[in-house]
Structure 1
Amino acid sequence: MSSSLHPRTDRPAVTVIGLGPMGRALAGAFVAAGVRTTVWNRTPGRDRELIEQGATGAGSAAAAVAASPLTVVCVIDYDAADAVLRQAEVTAGLKGRTLLNLTADTPERARDTGRWAAEHGIAYLDGAIMTPTPTIGTPDAVFIHSGPEELYRAQRPVLDALGGVHTHLGEDIGRAAAYDIALLDIFWTAMTGYVHALAVAGAEGVKPTELAPFAQGIGVILPPLFRQLADDVESGGFSGEASRLSSAAASMTHIVHASEAHGIDASVMRSAEGLARRAVALGHGPDGFTRIAEFLGRR
């Protein structure tokens, strides 16, 4: 008989819970890599295309976790994850198996789930996906993980089906979420700044496509600055030799005034300006902009 009629059962197996855009991308990558993949979603019908590709649809979350030694969860937040995983029959089904939670939330929520998993005999890894859905299954995907290193290494052969780069950040369960929160902080504040800039430019008659090449130029400046500023914060130098905090605050004020002159909400920039002004008022005007990181971290 051909293998297509009798599929091999010695292939690695995984269950994916949560079939939003990212969950479907994860499950699709597993299927494409030849991993036996079971899928389940709280809202029925999202598994249809995956089943056509070769996945197995489970009738319940409990049946899904029982189908594989590794379950990968990717839902909107830990409230949604808990609503599924902490059902008695699902928790019982996970006992003695491995759970990888790729759901985004806070570091403390990750640690709480780690404690819950330990109490119920579930091997637990936490993680985050740092790239968008089209990258999953390609060399461009980026995943970060935290939890027991031995457990992480044991699961790597299956996780490699997702493509890209996988980095283990340490055994503290909350460490991946800490990186995720910090990096998303950069992303969403940058995105907010960009759409605000488009609004301000538009009010001055500058088309978005006219501004975009210059905005990309700003983006090119940032990567070397990130490392330079990180070194400055870690060393405690806070040098204002290149640019003083008082000068940065003045620049922010100009943006606020230009925005509000057109009736454009400037609350985000007002907040940033407020941080800078408070630091200046404490005598840090001659310091560099990185002084704000130290200022924010004070207890």
Structure 2
Amino acid sequence: MAGNDRSPVTVIGLGLMGQALAAAFLRAGHPTTVWNRTPEKAADLVREGAVLAPTAAEAVTAGELVVVCLTTYDAMHEVLDPLDGALSGRVLANLTSGSSEQARETETWASERGAAYLDGAIMAVPAMIGGDEAVLFYSGSASAFEKHEATLRLLGGRTTYVGEDPGLAVLYDVALLGVMWGTLNSFVHGAALLKSAGIDATAFLPWATSWLDAVKLFATDYAGQIDAGDAEYPANDAKLSTHFASIEHLLHESETQGVSTELPAFVHALVKRALDKGHGDNSYAAMIELFQDPKAS
């Protein structure tokens, strides 16, 4: 990892997240140039020592590492497309939310302008930036990440480079968000079930969170089975047919207690399709066969 030499950094885009990014660089002693369409948003950063560039072109040329955090990729292109050769020889670290397809297209676009490209995903709120628990994924140019790793790590202690395919950071991002929403939906549905019997969600919470420790063990086994790729999926904990019977209990209790059956009915239908494809004696990992085949839905 390259040493933190406090080299100049540029931040383009000063929404709440962009301001947090720039502030983290300033706290670490990096000369930081900022630019935003609405320059008033830079006021606090300027008081902390940032330099407000009058134009995007001047901001880009102020530092070798150019961090962009705008609302969309289209907004990024509106700002950077007119800059001609300003990006040449620089590293563009794009922390704008978008798709893996956009990330790959933007790497080509950046390369045509002589810039090395990193696409990033931030799994944190602005207040977490610079802290040990902030998660940021980067993908794209390995040499660019290695050169600026120490600087990029200032934004979050759990900064991780995931590969040269620039679309990988986005895929990690959305995959983890899917885990979050799946978990939260299940927790809230469970809370609704217990509320029907007068049990508070706060009483349910410690049991739900401790149960996640067991789920982590299941997931660890399933990850190995999925990566093995032999489609055997040994049922070391329970067969998929056993899971299906329990899902039917959840579906029945939801209906009986006057709680929406939409979520358990959806899971019931998914698992039923896996059973119909002959996976009844396999582990829950066999569900990967459905998710990898969109024609099966």
TM-score band, normalised by the shorter chain?
0.7 to 0.9
- 1:260, CA displacement in angstroms? 4.3
Q: Normalising to structure 2: TM-score of the pair?
A: 0.86
- 1:14, CA displacement in angstroms? 1.2
The whole-number CA distance in structure 2 between the counterparts of 1:259 and 1:13 is 58
Bigger mean CA deviation after superposition, 226-235 or 48-57 = 48-57
Corresponding residue to 2:27 among 7, 28, 32: 32
Corresponding residue to 1:277 among 266, 272, 278: 272
- The 1:209–1:35 alpha-carbon spacing in structure 2 relative to 1, beyond 3 Å, is same
Corresponding residue to 1:19 among 14, 17, 36: 14
- 1:36, CA displacement in angstroms? 1.2
Native 8 Å contact 1:259 1:266 kept in 2: yes
Q: Which residue matches 2:66?
A: 71
Q: Which amino acid is 1:51 matched to?
A: V
Native 8 Å contact 2:6 2:28 kept in 1: no
Aligned residues: 288
Native 8 Å contact 2:139 2:162 kept in 1: yes
Show CA shifts across 1:148-188 (max 9, x none). Answer: 22221111232233241433222222222222222222122
* Matched position secondary structure for 2:117: strand
Q: Which residue matches 1:158?
A: 151
The whole-number CA distance in structure 2 between the counterparts of 1:229 and 1:76 is 36
1:242 aligns with 2:237: yes
- 1:81, CA displacement in angstroms? 3.1
- The 1:254–1:25 alpha-carbon spacing in structure 2 relative to 1, beyond 3 Å, is farther
**Aligned-residue CA RMSD in angstroms?**
2.4
Q: Which residue matches 2:283?
A: 288
The whole-number CA distance in structure 2 between the counterparts of 1:232 and 1:199 is 33
The whole-number CA distance in structure 2 between the counterparts of 1:215 and 1:146 is 34
Native 8 Å contact 1:31 1:55 kept in 2: yes
Structure 2 matches for 1:1-299, cutoff 5 A? 11-86=6-81, 88-89=82-83, 92-235=85-228, 236=230, 237-261=232-256, 264-298=259-293
* Matched position secondary structure for 1:96: coil
Q: Which runs of 5+ in 2 are unaligned?
A: none
- The 1:266–1:63 alpha-carbon spacing in structure 2 relative to 1, beyond 3 Å, is farther
Identity %: 39
The whole-number CA distance in structure 2 between the counterparts of 1:98 and 1:118 is 10
Native 8 Å contact 1:101 1:126 kept in 2: yes
Native 8 Å contact 2:136 2:156 kept in 1: no
- The 1:96–1:249 alpha-carbon spacing in structure 2 relative to 1, beyond 3 Å, is same
Native 8 Å contact 1:260 1:266 kept in 2: yes
Q: Which runs of 5+ in 1 are unaligned?
A: 1-9
Q: Which residue matches 1:4?
A: none
